[in-house]
Amino acid sequence: MTASNEVEIMDIQRDYQPHLMWMPEKDRIHDSLLYQFMVRLSEQENTLFHDYNQLHHWSVEHSDAFWDEVWDFCGVKGHKQGPTTHCPPQTPTPAKDTQWFPQATLNFAENLLSNWERHAAADALIFHCEGDPDRRQHLSWQQLYWQTSQFAAYLSSRGIKQGDVIAAYTPNLPQTIVAMLAATSLGAIWTSTSPDFGVDSVVERFGQTEPKLLICADGYFYNGKIHNSLDKVAAMLTELPSVRDLVIIPYTQTVDELTAQSTGPKQSEPTPENGETAYWPQILECFAPQPLTYTPVPFNHPLYILYSSGTTGQPKCIVHGTGGTLLNHLKEHQLHNNIKPGDRLFYFTTCGWMMWNWMVSGLASGAGMVLYEGSPFYPDGNVLWDMAAEESVTLFGTSAKYLEALEKQGYQPEKSHALPTLKTLCSTGSVLAPEQFDYVYRSIKSDLQLASISGGTDICGCFAIGNPLNPVYRGECQGRALGMDVRVFDEEGRSLFQQQGELVCCNSFPNQPVGFWNDPDGNRYQHAYWDTFPNVWHHGDFVTLSETGGLIFFGRSDAVLNPGGVRIGTAEIYRQVNPLPEVIDSIVIGQNWHNDVRVVLFVQLTEGQVLDDALKQTICRQIREHCSPRHVPAVILAVDDIPRTKSGKLVELAVRNVVHHQSVKNVGALANPQALEAFKNRPELQDHPK
């Protein structure tokens, strides 16, 4: 099937009218890399491409030629030889089993460092720490290259080679990026998580992937407090026998302070049972800078291991390939986000979220990385915008929840900060409500491409993404990613237009996972994405394809409410409830009730507010008037906190399990697991016999 086979069904959103928020100026369009790509493609294909939708259609119909051209246009360093794709004969699922560039070889780190000589003195990495301007660091491209060579030499001295797994349990530090580049320069596999994860959560992840070397920091700062990591690392090492060596990055303390502690009575320095502990500064002292030797690896050689949230069971270890990750990130950065050499790319992320991996690939486009570690509201909500203004950020990436919190607290960066270089604002992690579109253009910057993007850990990239050619419409992702045959299916696998359904992708793409770690027969990978619709990637988002070509998201399809058999996306309710001044946050579930499902809404209220009958009526009226009577919750209850994952995603399934007296399998994946206690055994949710 192709994108032209969509069935037009208009009845579900009769009252929806696209509302234009931003239109790119002609000069900006012509200056974009995407426009240059279209001109080049028009000459080569002898076809005039008029707009983005036409280009997208071509990229799907001719995906081999499209990805081959992306390789050339973006200047991938490697040996592109043989066919673009290979599909095993007689395979029943070519979309899943297609191998991209099966004879090509390349090195990931070489591509990210390919600009170092051209921009040697310019800043490659700029680091800010919460509340302490004295901790600002910057590494030039030359320093980044030389430090990578030094750490690569250390890894080689410890026997690290192609295919070995290197793990990091670190804050978002420059050293983390250096370590990743060094590891991948050798063909090693990189995996990381953030230091706010507990011991059990880390062991559940790294225990499956069995790293040979672990990198950690001594601690981290958050919300004005210092959090120690070394005690947790010591506990982890007893459960991770594969780890032979430990590297400690001094961050909250100096090397002298740390070594003094390790020789004291507490003996606090963690040490692997059969290896050594080394400190980052000492490694750089022992190994001199030298030209890097890059290990070429096959296009589909494992590069990253990312982890699912694990809120419904043991985290899935998703393996991403070297070439597919690089090629897709180059496409998304250069064509969709117009990232050019000299730009400054910032994303508020931790090393446990795939947006860190996405952000770091910006080096391959010659952009400098602006890193921030700490709370985005310490000492106040200006901190990220102070940094963006100071460092001339061109792309600012964050989460929808951050923008909502910023608005609730009354911040208006447009009035307090000069942001002349800021061109693009990306939002992901959860659904960006229409009201946040209003807020961005009213209070952050009016001349801005607001790119609400969506994809995730599963593909280390995006299915829905922005582009510099199309307008931005309120509440919509701008469009489907190039090369991805993204559609909306009903439960029978029929394509829908302007009707809610399942987000799917009907063709193969290079950044499909290589597979899952320790899944030799591929059954877990098959079940995760390919079982719902034959030969089609099922992503698990509940969406609508709009008349503009954009996508509107309504939440995860596994959390869809089903009262009276009518499917309701949870985001529809959040869009009405969360903007209310009395409400900080909310979460909604479907509770099994008398052979049906009833909608139950939990709200976290602002200080001093009480969930009385008047507020309940206000909430119900808002939902009824702007959604439908079906959306109105049967029960509304107050809680002190709303549980989310460490990357900020709501966990409706965990709350639903608690309400139904079922276990939550991995509370360690939550940022605030204690919040679940407020949902247990609520008398209002018990079916008491009369």
Domains recognised in the chain with CATH numbers: 560-685 (3.30.300.30)
The candidate with the shortest Cα–Cα distance to 505, out of 492, 524, 488, is 488
Write down the pLDDT at residue 615.
96
Half-sphere exposure of 53 (CA within 13 A, CB side): 11
The C-alpha angle with vertex 524 and arms to 518 and 527, in degrees rounded to 5, equals: 165
- Write the CB contacts of 250 (distance below 8 Å, at least 6 apart in sequence): 217, 218, 257, 258, 279, 280, 281
State the average pLDDT over residues 38-52.
Answer: 90
pTM for this prediction: 0.89
Residue 679 has pLDDT above 90, yes or no: yes
Write down the pLDDT at residue 201.
87
Write down the pLDDT at residue 194.
93
List the end-to-end C-alpha distance of the chain, in Å, as a whole number. Answer: 55
Q: Which residues of 184-196 are buried (b: 16+ CB within 10 A; e: fewer)?
A: bbbbbbbbbbbbe
Tens digit of each residue's pLDDT (9 = 90 or more) over 92-114:
667 898 999 999 999 999 999 99
Q: Given phi > 0 = left and psi -120 to 50 = alpha, else beta, which region is 253?
A: beta
Mean pLDDT lowest for which of 552-566, 625-639, 674-688? 552-566
221 — pLDDT class (breaks 50, 70, 90): very high
Residue 153 CA: distances (Å) to CA of 142, 176, 247: 17, 16, 14
State the average pLDDT over residues 553-577.
Answer: 86
Residue 447 has pLDDT above 60, yes or no: yes
101 in Cβ contact with 323 (< 8 Å) = yes
Write down the pLDDT at residue 15.
54
Tens digit of each residue's pLDDT (9 = 90 or more) over 364-396:
999 999 999 999 999 999 999 999 999 999 999
The candidate with the shortest Cα–Cα distance to 372, out of 393, 350, 394, is 350
Q: Cα 413 to the chain's mean position, in Å?
A: 24
37 in Cβ contact with 68 (< 8 Å) = no
Average pLDDT, the chain: 92
The whole-angstrom separation of Cα 319 and Cα 322 is 10
The C-alpha angle with vertex 625 and arms to 624 and 628, in degrees rounded to 5, equals: 45
3-state class (DSSP) for residue 478: coil
Write down the pLDDT at residue 664.
84
9 versus 230: the higher-pLDDT residue is 230
Residue 300 CA: distances (Å) to CA of 187, 324, 325, 566: 12, 7, 9, 42
Write down the pLDDT at residue 667.
80
Tens digit of each residue's pLDDT (9 = 90 or more) over 245-276:
999 999 999 988 888 876 544 445 788 877 89
Query: Residue 379 gets which letter from DSSP?
Result: S
Residue 314 has pLDDT above 90, yes or no: no
The whole-angstrom separation of Cα 580 and Cα 538 is 34
